[in-house]
Amino acid sequence: MNWHSMTAAKAAQALKSDAVNGLSNTEAKNRLEKNGSNALKPRDKPSFIVRFFAQFKDFCVIILFVACIVSFATGFIEGNGDFVEPVVILIIVILNAVIGVIQEQKAEKAIEALQKMSAPSASVIRNGKSERIPASTLVPGDVICLESGDMVPADARLIAANSLRVQESALTGESVPCAKEAEIILDENCAQADRKNMIYSSTTVMAGNCKAIVTETGMNTKVGRIANLLAAEEAPQTPLQQRLAKVGKALGIGAVAICAAVFLLGIIRQSGILPSFMLSVSLAVAAIPEGLPAVVTVVLSMGVQRMAKSNAIIRFLPAVETLGAATVICSDKTGTLTQNKMTVTKICSHSGEISAESDVAHKILLYASLCSNAKEIKKGKLSEITGDPTETAIVAAAKSVGIKPDPKNHIRRHETPFSGERKRMSVVCTVEGKNMLIIKGAPDVVLPRCVKYLSANGEMPLTANRKSTIFSQNESMAKKALRVIAVAYRTADSTQDSREEDFVFAGLIGMTDPPRPEAAKAVSVCKRAGITPVMITGDHIATARAIAETIGIADKSTTAMTGVELDKLSDDELKKAVASCRVFARVTPEHKVRIVKAFRARGETVAMTGDGVNDAPALKAADIGCAMGKSGTDVAKNAADMILTDDNFATIVKAVEQGRGIYDNIRKAVHFLLGTNIGEILAVFLASVLGFSSPLLPIQLLWVNLVTDSLPAIALGTEKTEKNIMLRKPLPPSHGFFADGLWLDISLEGAFVGALTLLAHAIGNFFFGGVGGTMAFCTLSFCEISHAINTRSSQSLFKNGVFSNKTMNIAVAVCIALQASVVCIPPLASLFGTLPLNAVQWLVVGVLSSMPLIMGEIGKLFGRNQEY
């Protein structure tokens, strides 16, 4: 239907809706069932079967299948009926594939849960009442209200628009925001880009506000039709996963070379082609950490879930990797470092502070309230004032002295909305039958537009000396950390008057927003962790500095800079200035981008907070963009890597701590997996070189890879963040994943595990009459468990807590029980080629297996691995 070619009233009639009261909840529910969710149809997910067979694309698994086929064929040709080994290998490979699918689904579900938590919402009128609902529940006929910064949730016909400008570049390609009008009616064949009375899903309100009636939802919207044309794309791997994949590939090439050598040595020693082939192939599969990317994904997703519980929603997994390396946190002041509970504490006229009960103060508060979008909402017997914190403080102050705008005598006719660039808002209101243009905003923006001032004796000419006095009052209030708002007025030329000049200055309103109780502590933690906290605000420089000094961001030795001063600096000069500047005041969104780039030019990793439409470029420019969950606009949230659900600076610091912990846990898992794989390779390779029989059968190698590798590796991902983690300096971007001697540790520990396995093999054969293979098998499995426990922390196990990781406790218990079962249960022992062990032999296995843990504790005692 051509909604743009009919009036809003006819559109509402066609949609069987009410442009004033909206739909009833019952009707909305019925329409939702009929039309479906207001969401783009997600790409079809592969079934469990498809996912299962996708696991067999791995090159190593293909080799295993070839080995199985060769083994089956050989057993059939030789007629010995020995199909146990290939069958067990096949079962283990299938089980490994099932675990891979389950891990993928768990990670996917975790991300879906987080996406639901950050899903957009919409302001809708139903049953004549305004309420906020999930955007996915909108239906055709719903009446929605939008403001600057909102993402348009569905295609809609405008009912009313006030200075509305919408960014439609995603749909039309127009780079300039489009001005919208509700009253016009357009030709049926009008191009989409010219439909000024329509707004479309996924576009952005850049300025103004509006009321509109929803015409299309979900896949019926313009963007939904485009979505139907798009091919599904696979999610890219994170940088960390890509690095680890390269490592795995390099290790795989090395492992294949070693396995080829093992195969040739077996042929030379006449061990038989099939046994040598099977041993080399299974060794290759056991050595290559093909499960490493999956483990990384699981560890990341578990960490992200933990962060979500701490009020930090990570929108992209790679952000976790960057969080731990943050060196600078650029934070807004209001609501992030402070409580966002503004309270009016001072009112000044042209001559100084006046009582809130005075006539002039009453006029100041009335005009300020009229030039405000804060609303009082009744909730039963109680009422709540909602809206911008500054405006709610003004309305609350006016209410406290008995001033409350009357809808009949105080009617708003026009609004020129506030923006970060304008730093002011103006409205035309009918006040007791007379049209008045009222402006409120920053004193340094409002006062130059005034030609008179209000006094007890009426309106007087505003001289230069009087302006200087008022500016001095503003400065004095700002030094006391008060936010100062100037209020002025004049008779309006018309109901649409937007000429912001020739005003009568009414007065100044001073209010304060106290620091959050936890802000000072969070700032202190930042500094100890080598992170520089920086305040960036649109407030007066004196106000900003006072708060910054209170919570510890700034001191007497640091500098503060205004946007005007920043404009005078070149990029190179700003790069030098940010080294000592900790407070940036009176800045615009463009300034924020320059500040972020200046810090990054110095090699810093920058986290940046933002909540407005114009903060999106700075959020994108930063290494980590942090949007505010409560006060943030949809645009800011979509540009951010992380959303703070409580708008709290302390949450950013906690998120950095969690990010460091997640990075550490991934490093621990990689440390463990690569070390154990090297141990497996060396044990078999050295036995072949030295002329011994192989200490491990192919089935045993696969078992170790499946059980004692995967379970402890995942358990390491649940390890708690170490207590000293925020006493460490951030890792620079150039810091390699295997830096600080990690490769050496992995190699030495792998060699140690391999040596212990060979020693167990030798002891079993020379002293206990042929149980060397079983002792080597058990020693390798239990060594890996010891190695996993040792890898849990860089600190002593006794400091960290022996049983503090419940998941690791379960993994260890399960691994021990399963390993014991393949030795002690006859049918399983037959399958895995193991022999029963007596108490002494188990004791030897236990002593050898505990050596990695003992040596690790000794190394930690003497300072080895104290920090990654």
Distance of alpha carbon 697 from alpha carbon 275, whole angstroms? 9
Written as one letter, the residue type at 497 is D
Distance of alpha carbon 409 from alpha carbon 429, whole angstroms? 9
Q: What is the DSSP string of 685-704?
A: HHHHHTTPPPSS-HHHHHHH
Rg (alpha carbons) of the chain, rounded to whole number: 34
- Provide the 3-class DSSP secondary structure of residue 861: helix
Burial of 743 (0-12, 13-18, 19+ CB in 10 A): middle
Distance of alpha carbon 605 from alpha carbon 809, whole angstroms? 37
Written as one letter, the residue type at 822 is V
Distance of alpha carbon 22 from alpha carbon 131, whole angstroms? 11
H runs (alpha helix) in 627-741:
634-639, 649-689, 698-704, 710-716
- Estimate to the nearest angstrom the gap between the alpha carbon of 495 and the chain centroid: 45
Question: Could you tell me which of 228, 281, 220, 275 has the C-alpha nearest to residue 256?
Answer: 281
| Spatial CB neighbours of 71, under 8 Å, sequence gap ≥ 6 | 83, 85, 86, 89, 274, 278
Query: Is residue 332 annotated as a catalytic residue, yes or no?
Result: yes
Burial of 699 (0-12, 13-18, 19+ CB in 10 A): buried
Look up tokens 């009261």; give the residue: 21
Written as one letter, the residue type at 24 is S
- Provide the 3-class DSSP secondary structure of residue 274: helix
Question: Could you tell me which of 563, 565, 554 has the C-alpha nearest to residue 593?
Answer: 563
Look up tokens 């010995």; give the residue: 80
Q: Which of 58, 155, 332, 615 is catalytic?
A: 332
Residue 524 CB-half CA count within 13 A? 7
Whether residue 205 contacts residue 150, with contact meaning beta carbons closer than 8 Å, is answered with: yes
> Measured between alpha carbons, how far is residue 182 from residues 148, 149, 202 in Å?
16, 19, 19
Whether residue 736 contacts residue 862, with contact meaning beta carbons closer than 8 Å, is answered with: no
Give the end-to-end CA distance of the chain in Å, rounded to a whole number.
63
Six token digits for residue 23:
């739909």
- Provide the 3-class DSSP secondary structure of residue 732: coil
Distance of alpha carbon 467 from alpha carbon 447, whole angstroms? 8
Residue 201 CB-half CA count within 13 A? 27
Distance of alpha carbon 546 from alpha carbon 513, whole angstroms? 12
Distance of alpha carbon 415 from alpha carbon 369, whole angstroms? 14
Look up tokens 């109901």; give the residue: 495
Q: State the sign of the Cα–Cα–Cα–Cα dihedral 103, 108, 114, 116.
A: negative
Phi, psi of 194 (to 5 degrees): -100, 5
Within 10 Å of residue 744's Cβ, how many Cβ atoms? 10
Distance of alpha carbon 832 from alpha carbon 818, whole angstroms? 12
Q: Are strands 503-512 and 450-455 parallel, antiparallel or unpaired?
A: parallel
Written as one letter, the residue type at 685 is F
> Measured between alpha carbons, how far is residue 272 from residues 87, 267, 680, 773 in Å?
20, 6, 22, 18
**Catalytic site residues?**
332
